[in-house]
Amino acid sequence: MSKPVLYLDIVGTLLLEKGGEMAMAPFAQDFVDGVRDAFEIRFLSSLEEHHAMRVAKRLGMDAEYVPFRHALGKASSIRFDEPFYWVDDDPSPSDLLRLSDERCSDRLIPVNRREGVTEATLAKLLATWAEHRAEQGEG
């Protein structure tokens, strides 16, 4: 079986703004280490691709960059025909509506942009994934 996709925002999740500068979130490396083998990681971020790939390199991870049109929202670039999860600090109202329409609201793992990803984020993602696997008889 193929890995589920993890759509991962960068700013506000892996990177935090501190005094006008961007700094790695304290738990970012541990988070990436916890998901790297279980998920196919795709960056769904407002950062330009070369900046996103620099973050991936710094965290020692492979990630695919997924562009999106701001007017349509990030959810417009999510492939709803494959198992996925999405970690983001600020999904738009249209993103939330699209997730609801697709009956996928439970696949969004929200993050507080002041903290970025945390142990609780990782635990919630893994618990949600395990729950979905159990529902599908894959557990």
Residue 15 DSSP SS3:
strand
The pLDDT value recorded for residue 104 is 96
Percent of the chain whose predicted confidence (pLDDT) is above 70: 98
Is 5-135 a CATH 2.60.40.10 domain?
Answer: no
Residue 68 has pLDDT above 90, yes or no: no
Q: Is residue 1 very low, low, confident or very high in pLDDT (cuts 50, 70, 90)?
A: low
- Listed in order, strand segments (DSSP E) in the chain are 5-8, 15-18, 21-24, 40-43, 64-65, 84-88, 108-110
- Look up tokens 């999510």; give the residue: 78
In the chain, domain spans: 5-135
Residue 139 has a pLDDT of 56
pLDDT one-digit tens code per residue, 93-134? 999 999 999 999 999 999 999 999 999 999 999 999 999 989
* List of residues 6+ apart from 47 with CB closer than 8 A: 10, 11, 55
pLDDT in the model for residue 94:
93
